[in-house]
Amino acid sequence: MAPLRFVLARAMKGKGEREIPGDVRSGWEPGFLIFFRETSVRLLSFPVTPFLIAFYFTMIRVKICGITNDADAFAAIEAGADALGFVLYPKSPRYITPAAAGRIVRQLPPFIQSVAVTVNATPPEVRDIETVATFDIWQLHGDELPDRCRALYPRRLIKALSPQSNTSHHVSEYNVMGFLLDTPSTNYGGTGKVFDWKLAVEFKQSTAKPLILSGGLTPENVAEAIRTVQPYAVDVSSGVEAEPGKKDHRKVKEFIRVCKSS
């Protein structure tokens, strides 16, 4: 069962709501019970007492990365994955050609997000990829600086960083949807090693944008990782593999089951 959180919000006339301290109890105005899930709001049509009780569920999102074939893609979807990652970096053992990735992406059911994982790809290279494949999100997993992110606008971007990134640029300079934290590697990911999750907790204080936790996650440790970091999403590749580029479907299923119940 996903954890259930709630806030108390004073009923307001007209559009919009605002969060107020839980100890404020003055006034009686008609209100409605509303449910929040992610950014969507559902307004139920019966009045309640002076406060709107807003419940929102924090169901963790799961990205299975390093997809190279149809069988792995659809096993992940069947297990409940929210997103699939396709590594378009030729030096990776999980590399898939843009054309092959595009063929898989075109078969995906609605609401499954496709993520192109690139390393230091230039805008012309990205445009070349887009001639054979269309992705929902681009994950920049190299040494890309804020200027590169701006050059790729209006694409939806995730910037991968190490928890100890040696850069003079503050995260606020990156025009991206969110950040992915991964274990430092000269090969740009895929180490299968865990970093100190306390660093991820500290990183969250530097930005309000969603945090995706990666790096050495497995079915055995992901519940603790979620409890410690409380990320927006988790990302796994080697932790659910039979070998590089080939998923162990049993591990994929167990990983997602643990995530969705944490």
Q: Could you list the mean pLDDT of each consecutive 10-residue stretch along the chain, which spans 262 residues?
A: 39 38 35 38 40 52 98 98 98 97 98 98 98 98 96 97 77 96 84 92 94 97 97 97 97 98 90
**Separation of alpha carbons 143 and 152, rounded Å:** 14
Instruction: Give the pLDDT score at 148.
Output: 97
133: domain range?
A: 61-261
**Three-state DSSP state, 121:** coil
**Separation of alpha carbons 233 and 149, rounded Å:** 21
Does 120 share its domain with 243?
yes
Residue 160 has φ and ψ, to the nearest 5°, of -85, 135
**Three-state DSSP state, 201:** helix
Instruction: Give the pLDDT score at 46.
Output: 40
Catalytic residue among 149, 182, 235, 259: 182
Residue 70 has φ and ψ, to the nearest 5°, of -60, -45
Does 49 share its domain with 75?
no
Instruction: Give the pLDDT score at 76.
Output: 98
Annotation says 65 is catalytic: yes
Instruction: Give the pLDDT score at 7.
Output: 39
Instruction: Give the pLDDT score at 168.
Output: 63
Does 237 share its domain with 149?
yes
The one-letter amino acid code at 142 reads G
> Which burial class, exposed, middle or buried, applies to 236 when counting CB atoms under 10 A from its CB (0-12, 13-18, 19+)?
buried
Question: β-strands 211-213, 233-236: how paired?
Answer: parallel
**Three-state DSSP state, 102:** helix
Annotation says 182 is catalytic: yes
The residue among 37, 57, 77 that closes a domain is 57
Q: Can you give the pTM of this predicted structure?
A: 0.79
Does 150 share its domain with 90?
yes
Does 131 share its domain with 13?
no
CATH number, position 239: 3.20.20.70
Does 98 share its domain with 148?
yes
Does 52 share its domain with 65?
no
**Residue whose structure tokens are 């440790």:** 221
Does 14 share its domain with 131?
no
Instruction: Give the pLDDT score at 1.
Output: 40
**Separation of alpha carbons 70 and 108, rounded Å:** 10
**Separation of alpha carbons 261 and 57, rounded Å:** 12
Does 78 share its domain with 19?
no
Question: Which one, of 106, 43, 38, 42, lies nearest residue 70 by Cα?
Answer: 106
Instruction: Give the pLDDT score at 191.
Output: 79
Q: Are 115 and 63 in contact (CB under 8 A)?
A: yes
Does 66 share its domain with 50?
no
Reading the block at residue 184, the tokens are 């430092």
Reading the block at residue 136, the tokens are 């929902």
Number of domain units in the chain:
2
**Helix or strand run (H / E) with residue 126:** helix 123-129
